[in-house]
Amino acid sequence: MTAQPDPQHEIDGDVYVAPRYLASTTGFGDPALAPLRDLGWSVEHDDLGNGYINAPDRRVRVGYLPEGEDDGLWRINAYRDPFGPAIWGACFNDGTPTEFVTAFTTALATAYEQGLGACLARPVAGVDEHDPFRTVKPLLDHGWMFDRPRQGVFAVQAPDRHAALEYTAGPLAPDAELTTRDARWHLWAGESIDRPAWYATFSTDTPVAVLTAVTECVADPAPLPRWRKETFSYVEELARLTPILPPAPPAPTPLDVRRTLAARRPAALPAASIPRWSTTSRPALPGPRR
């Protein structure tokens, strides 16, 4: 679980948004790209300003597409053969909180360093680290509830019913999973799945580890910081906003206390001038007049 933001560090925002799944994008993609760039993945751009990040072996590719053909801002695909079809794919639309995308790319970077097997590990029921149930457990642990919204669809829904993770049973078209919202896993927030504030999709063979990193981040009860005036960065009509108070001054050190006491102590008065008897003889008194 992510800790409550440390008030002693600079916070990028003036309000906290709760629950965090009712936040939206920050408008900056760099935090989500950083885990992959730190591994030395190459970055390319097209003439429109879209970015493409590729693993050295070209088996994992990430598209950051602010000028894409639809609202899929982030598209991540993995390949067994760099010239073959994608084994799995994920998509985050342009409203998804940047922190959730960053959780995914951070887990993806970890899996890539562990080897191709981790990046392409298929979900397998009953096998602990690859069991799809691990994906929903963080949500259930924080009060989300099972639901059956439609035939053939299982879901876990947030207590306020403003977010859900859906799982579609039965066969699905592999191409559709990669290019539409008709994917195995569908995570969304807002008033309804038909008009979500944001959504993310994950195809059938998305590794459990990277998908679970997202659900853990979504389930975290800690709020997310945003700027109140940037109303695009949260679901204005649903989210709870709490002002971020300035940090309290640090506790004084023993040296600070001594300096304060010294400053308050009244200055010593100068010593009074005390006349001293002279060591020379006094002049003789005049004699009586005649």
At residue 233, what are phi and psi to the nearest 5 degrees? -90, 5
Whether pLDDT at 245 is above 70 = yes
End-to-end CA distance of the chain: 115
- Quick: pLDDT tens for 58-114: 999 999 999 999 999 999 999 999 999 999 999 999 999 999 999 999 999 999 999
pLDDT confidence band for 184 (50 / 70 / 90): very high
Mean pLDDT confidence for 243-253:
81
Can you say how many angstroms the Cα of residue 73 is from the centroid of all Cα atoms in its chain? 17
Q: Which residues pair with 64 in a beta bridge?
A: 51, 74
pLDDT confidence band for 3 (50 / 70 / 90): very low
In one letter, which amino acid is 283? P
Task: Flag the least confident range among 21-25, 221-225, 275-279.
Answer: 275-279
Burial of 219: CB neighbours in 10 Å, binned 0-12, 13-18, 19+: buried
Note if the pTM is more than 0.85: no
Strands 51-54 and 15-18, sheet pairing: unpaired
Are 112 and 210 in contact by the 8 Å Cβ rule? The answer is no
Query: Got the DSSP string for 218-285?
Result: HH--S-EEE-TT-GGGB-TTT-EEEE-PPPPPPPPPHHHHHHHHHHHSPPPPPPPP-----SSPPPPP
DSSP 3-state of 178: helix
